[in-house]
Structure 1
């Protein structure tokens, strides 16, 4: 019993340096839970907190943060910022949330796939001219379990461990995500990149219809149904949305009550919604029939099962779906998806091999190590899911595809993000000609 009391005393003393950190200028870091040395898992959620002191009256407080893939930031128990874009941070004025004395900044991070982390910087300007900064770094403590009051002052973070750093602001693959962050007032709605800042070909014009708001997730796929309505899927578990347009404006927005989420590929065709998403049997290709033609979808039918631990889930999983000139479905998958078991032996692309001259050099960080041909691929199948064929392959992680007027299939592929700036890094157009010779071209 005495030993137990003594241990609790030491826990409390050890936590004091982290709980009451002084303010000083620092560079924020991408941090995540240490996971006892294991790599972050897909869809895992982690919790973080840090206490700090404000000595004096506050003039202004500005919070900037980004999450890979999602982060919610809390100040003294109140959520003040939500970000779902690891490439671009959000900024918010949080002056009214900071008080003299002890304060707590906390974060809830969620990973979709691959890399995980978040980065945050709280800039404080005190009356009298003094300034201070609170940043995400290894002085934060983290946990893999949510506990009551974890985001509030007074919480005892017993059992929480120091966060792990994956690099300072500017590190790859993220880059300087805080550059150009637009400052918003507390509670302000999110706004997408201004349409006028996007470059277009002559004769085209871009208009911003709607920006994803809090609770709507990060939009990653879209299709148009037979009535011209947009069907949009977030990357997470938020429901899909359907937008009805009139005179170029949104007339109605609906949340669809269907048991498939996280779709990275959508297609409306043959009075059905085809979805590469997370459904009752895992992350696979589903068909939801629109029986009455009004968008009242029936239960999902499993059309094609992607061979992976969770099917086609993840950022290198099953992606875009398009309707080909031959009225068949064409689906592009990243290089972490194996070809289906029932692949047609008469597939156009079937003569592939690991024909390397020198010994294989795996990625130094272990990402994708051991992945063998055919790599990323395009599958072709009938509208009912039958006659699955390997149409093209040899890609890395093409996300979407489409046909041009000549019937050629195009997509965009690239090398690894952390190879940015090297002489070997390249962005390539993947082209599959109309012939069925069983090869794919990659053009620089």
Structure 2
């Protein structure tokens, strides 16, 4: 099985991509990921080169032809070309037009695996400027069947063609420099070269998502092998990974729904449903939604709001959603989310602040005035008719997963409180039925030794918790087959959690499973295509 993970960057970093983690060498998996570069085994990699903006030695030149010849010892199995030209260009390979570039902000990406056989080749960029600054940026990553990589980037080795003359191109600046800044499509090679996984695992880049789509923060796999995803701000999309017959693509779902921070697929008879936890700042009301594909033909015909969550938008609003083996829909919400009307509650509904010493509110103004219950976990039937409150007192847990039918989450810390006696690190919690995990605003948090709260399974330390995933046998490696994965946005890390029963609860240990720099991770799911 494969695990799909999303790494998302801010506009500053500009990295938006989907990777898969597989328990097999990358060279065995290219049939399904042919359009994008694959992370080769480390011994076979060449150092990643950073492309440079180039132009002619005469800065006022408005039109120019750039060329770069190269030789391949063996035919390409994977070849991904990325080009940005300020302002526009025609792109040729071996004299044949392969693409056009019309907006430098949206780099052109081309799959060249079929065109790059063994032997001599030449890339040609016929560029045109429209006044002001001009530049050409190119990155071609090639990998052959032996896992050997060749990278061609724009730099001083390119030639400017003027009739019979050939002159060296002038380097303007490295990728990332102003006025262009960082373009997401060009950063994947640099990022993937830093990704570290355990021996025997490999990582493949599935797709780079254009910045115009937004920062993908929720991901779920569908039976046809595609992924449904949501940007933090924008409509839901479908991601179709590449096959041997077609390049990867992304399509917007034509329904009035977006801004989801949790997605969960469920097969109900012949119908296929996706539950969406919408955390909206205005696109649609926040709450729990259901998308319907009643014909099971891969098209969602309708969407319905099952339960609105008033004033529930923002970074501490509704988050993860999942369907448990009990056939109930579980939803977790951050500490700024007002509670909904519950038909029943495992938690006694007379919670209070319960502090002995006078409270010190956050001097920076964060969560001032917010009172119990803090973050909360609920579940409902498949039609969203009756909600039951299960546990409270988390700070801002983004996601959760199940172990033996019990809910485990990764709760966030408040980094401003580091060094105080009430600081609580990011931690792994078993959300026991009816439990209060003691978040109270400011200095009034429950210490873990309070008899009316439950202690953590693990302290992780400073972190920005995001997605969680129970492997449930998705890896053949017995060590990780039943591990739980917890993603950390800030430190670009996936923690492998090894959770075992102990008494009425669990005990846990952890190790670093995957890391990269930068690699701001947001979500993970198990692909259904094996």
- TM-score normalised according to structure 1 size: 0.53
Deviation at 1:353, TM superposition (A): 2.6
Over 3 Å counting, the alpha-carbon distance change for 1:372 and 1:422 in structure 2 is closer
Deviation at 1:397, TM superposition (A): 0.9
Tell me the residue number matched to 1:313: 313
- In 2, the alpha carbon distance for the partners of 1:250 and 1:411 equals 36
Over 3 Å counting, the alpha-carbon distance change for 1:377 and 1:199 in structure 2 is farther
Report Cα offsets for 1:126-184 as digits up to 9, x if no partner: xxxxxxxxxxxxxxxxxxxxxxxxxxxxxxxxxxxxxxxxxxxxxxxxxxxxxx99569
Contact 2:242/2:248, CA 8 A, preserved across alignment: yes
- In 2, the alpha carbon distance for the partners of 1:323 and 1:371 equals 30
Over 3 Å counting, the alpha-carbon distance change for 1:201 and 1:420 in structure 2 is farther
- In 1, the alpha carbon distance for the partners of 2:339 and 2:328 equals 18
Deviation at 1:268, TM superposition (A): 1.5
- In 2, the alpha carbon distance for the partners of 1:266 and 1:344 equals 24
Over 3 Å counting, the alpha-carbon distance change for 1:411 and 1:438 in structure 2 is closer
The reply to whether residue 288 of structure 1 matches residue 291 of structure 2 is yes
Tell me the residue number matched to 1:18: none
Over 3 Å counting, the alpha-carbon distance change for 1:97 and 1:376 in structure 2 is farther
Deviation at 1:195, TM superposition (A): 3.2
Report Cα offsets for 1:269-290 as digits up to 9, x if no partner: 1311211224885122111111
- In 2, the alpha carbon distance for the partners of 1:268 and 1:288 equals 9
Deviation at 1:243, TM superposition (A): 2.2
Matching residue within 206, 221, 237 for 2:218: 221
Question: How many residue pairs align between the two structures?
Answer: 275
Tell me the residue number matched to 1:361: 360
Over 3 Å counting, the alpha-carbon distance change for 1:238 and 1:322 in structure 2 is closer
Tell me the residue number matched to 2:124: none
Tell me the residue number matched to 1:195: 192
Matching residue within 248, 253, 264 for 2:250: 253
Deviation at 1:325, TM superposition (A): 2.3
Q: What SS does the corresponding residue of 1:215 show, helix, strand or coil?
A: helix
The reply to whether residue 336 of structure 1 matches residue 336 of structure 2 is yes
Deviation at 1:394, TM superposition (A): 0.7
Contact 2:229/2:238, CA 8 A, preserved across alignment: yes
Contact 1:349/1:392, CA 8 A, preserved across alignment: no
Tell me the residue number matched to 1:403: 402
Over 3 Å counting, the alpha-carbon distance change for 1:238 and 1:299 in structure 2 is closer
- In 1, the alpha carbon distance for the partners of 2:104 and 2:193 equals 28
Tell me the residue number matched to 1:38: none
Deviation at 1:198, TM superposition (A): 3.1
Tell me the residue number matched to 2:274: 273
Deviation at 1:299, TM superposition (A): 2.7
Q: Which has the higher contact order (CA 8 A, sep 6+)?
A: 2
Tell me the residue number matched to 1:372: 371
Taking only aligned residues, the RMSD between alpha carbons, in angstroms, comes to 3.9
Contact 1:229/1:245, CA 8 A, preserved across alignment: no
Matching residue within 229, 234, 239 for 1:232: 229
Task: For structure 1, list consecutive stretches of 5 or more residues without a partner in the other structure.
Answer: 1-29, 31-56, 59-74, 83-94, 100-179
Comparing 416-425 and 391-400, the one that deviates more: 416-425
- TM-score normalised according to structure 2 size: 0.45
Q: What SS does the corresponding residue of 1:428 show, helix, strand or coil?
A: strand
Deviation at 1:228, TM superposition (A): 2.8
- In 1, the alpha carbon distance for the partners of 2:213 and 2:284 equals 24
Comparing 409-418 and 182-191, the one that deviates more: 182-191
Q: What SS does the corresponding residue of 1:300 show, helix, strand or coil?
A: strand
- After TM superposition, the structure 1 = structure 2 runs for residues 383-402 of structure 1, keeping only pairs within 5 Å, are 383-402=382-401
